[in-house]
């Protein structure tokens, strides 16, 4: 970390500590309660939430239809509501098909569906990803190890303060024989962003 970055982090930490001291002195909340809430938030906000939605869509055409029509409401059906997001923020689900592949970015900053994908990876927030995936999506996907047929259209979705996107990947052939728990393990955070696709363990080991 650069000296300037370290200095900014130290200033931010000092400010947080002052606010915590003030809140504790006024009986608003204790540091222990803050720590407990952060831990609970971390346990609740993971990519498993998005994977739950994808696997339900794989196995229920009716749920898939609801997910694509109103992803926020479909998420709430499974207990994965927005968790503190403004009601102005809308979650959109975009489904991959044999001829169309979706990938998500935020070109302005790093808007991201935290409640359904967990914490964003560092590369998602990087200027390199944000600028290049719009200009050369196939090239960026190749760097992630995802090579798509030339016949596949790649659509890039730009997240914003009002809209978040979740990619619904295709279920890999053979996965229908697996339990829903096993199917869920195939759906990674990167699949939900669109820089990867679900693969059976045998495919991964090749």
What does the alpha-carbon distance between residue 157 and residue 37 come to, in Å, rounded to a whole number?
32
What does the alpha-carbon distance between residue 176 and residue 89 come to, in Å, rounded to a whole number?
33
pLDDT of residue 5: 44
Query: Which of these is catalytic: 106, 131, 160, 205?
Result: 106
Do 155 and 201 touch, CB atoms closer than 8 A? no
In which band, very low, low, confident or very high, does the pLDDT at 89 lie, cut at 50, 70 and 90?
confident
Helix (H, G, I), strand (E, B) or coil at 121: coil
Do 105 and 159 touch, CB atoms closer than 8 A? yes
Query: Which of these is catalytic: 60, 109, 126, 131?
Result: 109
Q: pLDDT per residue over 150-200, tens digit each?
A: 999 999 999 998 999 999 999 999 999 999 999 999 999 999 999 999 999
In which band, very low, low, confident or very high, does the pLDDT at 35 lie, cut at 50, 70 and 90?
low
Q: What is the pTM of this model?
A: 0.79
Q: Is 106 a catalytic residue?
A: yes
pLDDT over 80 (residue 19):
yes
pLDDT over 90 (residue 44):
no
What does the alpha-carbon distance between residue 22 and residue 125 come to, in Å, rounded to a whole number?
32
In which band, very low, low, confident or very high, does the pLDDT at 81 lie, cut at 50, 70 and 90?
confident
* Mean pLDDT for the chain overall: 88
Over the range 121-145, which residues count as b (16 or more CB within 10 Å of their CB) and which as e?
Answer: eeebeeeebbeebeeebeebbeeee
pLDDT over 60 (residue 8):
no
More confident position, 132 or 114: 132
pLDDT of residue 47: 95
Strands 100-105 vs 153-158: parallel, antiparallel or unpaired: parallel
What does the alpha-carbon distance between residue 99 and residue 155 come to, in Å, rounded to a whole number?
11
Q: Is 191 a catalytic residue?
A: no
What does the alpha-carbon distance between residue 158 and residue 134 come to, in Å, rounded to a whole number?
9
Do 158 and 134 touch, CB atoms closer than 8 A? yes
Helix (H) or strand (E) holding 104: strand 100-105
Query: Which of these is catalytic: 110, 131, 151, 205?
Result: 110
Helix (H) or strand (E) holding 92: strand 90-95
Query: Which of these is catalytic: 86, 87, 111, 160?
Result: 111
What is the percentage of the chain residues whose pLDDT exceeds 90?
67
In which band, very low, low, confident or very high, does the pLDDT at 206 lie, cut at 50, 70 and 90?
very low
């Amino acid at each position: 970390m650069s000296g300037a970055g370290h200095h900014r982090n130290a200033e931010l930490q000092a400010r947080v500590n002052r606010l915590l001291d003030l809140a504790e002195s006024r009986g608003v909340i204790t540091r222990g309660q803050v720590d407990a809430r952060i831990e609970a938030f971390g346990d609740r906000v993971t990519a498993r939430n998005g994977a739950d939605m994808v696997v339900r869509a794989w196995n229920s055409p009716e749920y898939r239809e609801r997910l694509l029509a109103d992803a926020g409401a479909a998420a709430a059906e499974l207990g994965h509501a927005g968790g503190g997001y403004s009601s102005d923020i809308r979650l959109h689900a975009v489904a991959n098909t044999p001829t169309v592949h979706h990938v998500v970015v935020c070109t302005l900053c790093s808007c991201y569906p935290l409640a359904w994908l967990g914490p964003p990876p560092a590369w998602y927030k990087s200027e390199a990803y944000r600028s290049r995936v719009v200009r050369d999506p196939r090239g960026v996907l190749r760097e992630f190890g995802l090579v798509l047929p030339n016949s596949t259209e790649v659509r890039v979705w730009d997240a914003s303060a009002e809209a978040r996107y979740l990619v619904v990947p295709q279920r890999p052939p053979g996965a229908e024989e697996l339990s829903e728990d096993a199917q869920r393990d195939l759906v990674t955070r990167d699949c939900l962003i669109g820089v990867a696709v679900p693969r059976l363990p045998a495919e991964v080991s090749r």
